[in-house]
Amino acid sequence: MNDAGGQDIKGAFLIPFLIFVLFCGIPLVFLEMAVGQYTAQGGITCWTNICPLFTGIGIGGVVCLSFSIIYYNIIMTWALFYLAYSFTNDLPWATCNHTWNTANCLADTVTHNFTPGGNGFNYLNYTSPTTEFWNFFNRFVECWVKLLDTCPSSFNAIPRFDAGGRNAKYITSSQ
């Protein structure tokens, strides 16, 4: 993120983050601990003892925690995926000598040695090994989605990642 002068703003997120931690996060942690100790019950039933109308707070907390756990597990899966591949001799998205690569695959080390337009070499028909790896990965996910076609509708929206693995477009089993 840059300011008006083009300088990088480092740590601009820290101010709102610290404000929310100080005024929301820490007080809520102490509230949860105090209520849990006072009622000597779990997260769902402790609010019922305080006020029966507050039963939904405990259920909502457990639902939010469940979504956080799922999100965290996905992040950890990606971290383990990249960790496992970092111990291989060559990364699967770094070279063009894999079974999923097409004839149009051109390694990045080859393209860095060419001058655009200087030797008549046409780059338009070639793709990078990174793009081809993510295309292969997306085809794998699409096959997995088709297998999940009989599952509940909550599993029918699966992310499709771009070449960098960052931006996700959701695909469904009907596509």
Q: Kindly report, residue by residue over 110-144, the tens digit of the pLDDT.
A: 555 555 555 555 556 667 777 777 777 777 777 77
Q: Dihedral of CA 84/86/87/88: which sign?
A: positive
Alpha carbons 155 and 20: distance in angstroms, whole number = 33
* pTM of the entire predicted model: 0.42
Residues 107 and 141 in one domain: yes
The domain tally of the chain equals: 2
Question: Which tokens belong to 165?
Answer: 């693995």
Q: Is residue 28 situated within a structural domain?
A: no
Give the residue from 25, 56, 87 where a domain finishes: 87
* pLDDT above 60 for 75: yes
Question: Which tokens belong to 104?
Answer: 């149009």
Residues 118 and 173 in one domain: yes
Q: Kindly report, residue by residue over 130-139, the tens digit of the pLDDT.
A: 777 777 777 7
Q: Is residue 168 situated within a structural domain?
A: yes
Residues 81 and 61 in one domain: yes
Q: Is residue 21 situated within a structural domain?
A: no
Confidence (pLDDT) at 23: 95
Q: Average of pLDDT values for 154-165? A: 55
* Containing structural domain, residue 168: 90-175
Alpha helices per DSSP H over 99-159:
108-111, 129-147
Average pLDDT, the chain: 75
